[in-house]
Structure 1
Amino acid sequence: MKAVFEFLVVILFFTTYALTKNIILATEVAIAAGIIQAVWCLFKYRRLQTMQWVSLLLVVILGGATVILKNERFIMWKPTALFWVMSAGLLISHLCGKNVLKSTIGKEISMPDPAWHKLTYIWVIFLLALGALNLWVAYTFTVPQWVNFKLFGSTTILFLFLVGQTVYISQYTKKDEL
């Protein structure tokens, strides 16, 4: 249930767009849902995680620009901005001596430090490329095609990347851990 709540804004955006074919209305729904979701998390957990703040700010700023200027390109930038912020965060923290991936999933997965470094760089490159691909689709295809790419294409690419990451990580797991 928590996973569904985490994706509530995205679900409501796509549902609204699917029903109305109006990206401005879908963006308004996403902004309202994002704010409500943030308020609820602040009330329940007394805090928002860093990526929740980043996502909220991006949907409010870029979504707000979309609504005010009636220009869908701003909301179409949101995935790219999010991917690139995540990529920069991973790279900067890594260069400062903190491996975010290791601190996040290292409790469940034991790998040598060079493997964590490589995995971090793989994530950085992947997120940069996925952000660039989103922009290419946004500026090359129509709004409905971008929405389909965002919902199905980038989700499939992310899933396949996670499968590849699992294969990479699996070489470091012991047979008895499986």
Structure 2
Amino acid sequence: MKQLLDFLPILLFFGAYKMYDIYVATGVIMAATVVQMAILYKMEGRLQMIHKVTLGLVLGFGALTLLLHDERFIKIKPTILYAAMGLALAIGLWAFKKNFLRMMLGNALALPEQVWRNLTVAWVAYTFFMAAVNAFVAYYYTTDQWVNFKLWGYVFPIVFLVAQGFYIAKHLPKDEEKDNA
């Protein structure tokens, strides 16, 4: 259910773009993101920082897109979101010696400290890669091509998350280790 909720705004954006244009699609993704965050809040009782940042960027860059009638704002939003995530993780890890990824997910996964560090480094590299790819496609390709990339470009996070899952699985405690703990 939650995975569907994560993809719903982009699917609605894609549909609205194909039926109308980038400006209608921008309004749709703004509304869908507000609804998405309201549902998440109702389910979890709070929004994580990434949800708040995403909501702020979607509404802010969406409003600029609509008010200035300039599609460049909505197209650059993913680059800014990915770059901000990468910067936050990198600064936390290397400047403050804090692993924000572990702080967010540590209650759900019991992993050795080095594994958390490796995962965070992988996330930093991934987010900067995605920021660069989005910027490239947004700048050098048409809006139609960028929208298609936004939909079909979801292969990147899926591949990244599956690879990460395989990496994590090797380091999870075995059932007998959990029973002895």
TM-score (norm 2): 0.83
Structure 1, unaligned runs of 5 or more: none
User: Which residues of 2 match residues 148-159 of structure 1 at below 5 A?
Assistant: 148-153=148-153, 155-159=154-158
Deviations 1:73-128 (A, max 9, x none): 11011111111121122223324233222233334544321222122111101101
Q: 1:146: which partner in 2?
A: 146
Tell me the CA shift for residue 66 of structure 1. 0.9
Count of aligned residue pairs for this structure pair: 175
Equivalent-residue separation in structure 1 for 2:112 and 2:161 (angstroms): 19
Asked if residue 167 in structure 1 is aligned to residue 144 in structure 2, the reply is no
TM-score (norm 1): 0.84
Equivalent-residue separation in structure 1 for 2:144 and 2:160 (angstroms): 24
Equivalent-residue separation in structure 1 for 2:131 and 2:111 (angstroms): 28
Equivalent-residue separation in structure 2 for 1:127 and 1:41 (angstroms): 23
Equivalent-residue separation in structure 2 for 1:66 and 1:172 (angstroms): 45
Equivalent-residue separation in structure 1 for 2:42 and 2:104 (angstroms): 24
Structure 2, unaligned runs of 5 or more: 177-181
Q: 2:179: which partner in 1?
A: none
Deviations 1:128-157 (A, max 9, x none): 11111101011111111111111112x101
Equivalent-residue separation in structure 2 for 1:112 and 1:44 (angstroms): 30
Q: Aligned to 2:98, what secondary structure does the other structure show?
A: coil
Equivalent-residue separation in structure 2 for 1:170 and 1:44 (angstroms): 27
User: Which residues of 2 match residues 66-145 of structure 1 at below 5 A?
Assistant: 66-94=65-93, 95-145=95-145
Residues 173 and 133 of structure 1: CA distance in aligned 2, closer, same or farther (over 3 Å): same
AA of the residue aligned to 1:65: L
Q: 1:51: which partner in 2?
A: 50
Identity level (%): 39
Q: Aligned to 1:125, what secondary structure does the other structure show?
A: helix
Determine which structure has greater relative contact order: mean sequence separation of CA pairs < 8 Å that are 6+ residues apart, divided by chain length.
2
Tell me the CA shift for residue 39 of structure 1. 4.8
After superposition, the CA RMSD in angstroms is 2.4
